[in-house]
């Protein structure tokens, strides 16, 4: 079942990239008590993700926070070391990188895709959501191969 607006995020373990190294966090704890703009990409270092998706959230970070967003986070079905390297290479210090290496979170929210024909296996669909105290307030899932509704600019226009 795909998550929808008004649903509480399911429990899953993510790995938060920190300066001290990888730190396991439960989605229940991570999203509790605050408003988080979460966006998901099919893969770190992939073309659209690196050229448009992540840079858009970096550029719009202050504007999102001015509209009541406490934190901006990115998740992908990659390990924490890849997410850390991608974040550093992209200059995204203001974005919390959340590794979903086994796609546990993507599966739990029902937003996976089959990237096998690209040699990528199970991946997350491209989406953006606004989560308030663990409940989905806004959700924008891209059609396959598109990049429109999950952009930082679109999310910002909906808040």
Q: What is the 3 state secondary structure string of 15-43?
A: EEEECCEEEEEEHHHHCCCCEEEEEEECC
Residue 121 lies in a domain: yes
Domain count, the chain: 1
Residue 32 lies in a domain: yes
* Whether the predicted pLDDT of 19 surpasses 90: no
Q: Residue 51: pLDDT band by 50, 70, 90 thresholds?
A: low
CB 68 within 8 A of CB 86: no
25 or 120: which leads in pLDDT: 25
Segments forming the whole domain that contains residue 118: 7-154
Where is average pLDDT lowest: 37-41, 43-47, 71-75?
Answer: 43-47
Reading the block at residue 129, the tokens are 């959501």
Helices (H), 53-142: 54-59, 61-66, 80-90, 104-108
Residue 2 lies in a domain: no
Tell me, what's the pLDDT at 49? 65
* Whether the predicted pLDDT of 141 surpasses 80: yes
* Mean pLDDT value across the chain: 92
> Active-site residue numbers?
49
Q: What does the pLDDT look like over 80-136, one tens digit per residue? A: 999 999 888 888 889 999 999 999 999 999 999 888 888 777 889 999 999 999 999
* Whether the predicted pLDDT of 77 surpasses 90: yes
138 or 121: which leads in pLDDT: 138
Residue 1 lies in a domain: no
Tell me, what's the pLDDT at 53? 82
**What CATH number should be reported for the domain holding residue 142?**
3.40.30.10
Residue 125 lies in a domain: yes
* Whether the predicted pLDDT of 137 surpasses 80: yes
Tell me, what's the pLDDT at 35? 98
């Amino acid at each position: 079942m795909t998550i929808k607006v008004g649903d509480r995020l399911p429990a899953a373990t993510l790995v938060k990239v920190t300066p001290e190294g990888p730190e396991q966090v439960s989605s229940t704890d991570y999203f509790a008590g605050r408003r988080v703009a979460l966006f998901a990409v099919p893969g770190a270092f992939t073309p659209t993700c690196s050229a448009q998706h992540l840079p858009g959230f970096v550029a719009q970070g202050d504007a999102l926070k001015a509209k009541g967003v406490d934190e901006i986070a990115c998740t992908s079905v990659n390990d924490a070391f890849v997410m850390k390297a991608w974040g550093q290479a992209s200059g995204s210090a203001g974005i919390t990188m959340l590794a979903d290496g086994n796609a546990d979170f993507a599966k739990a929210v029902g937003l996976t895709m089959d990237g096998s024909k690209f040699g990528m296996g199970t991946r997350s669909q491209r989406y953006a959501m606004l989560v308030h105290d663990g409940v989905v307030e806004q959700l924008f899932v891209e059609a396959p191969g598109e990049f429109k509704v999950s952009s930082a600019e679109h999310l910002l226009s909906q808040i």
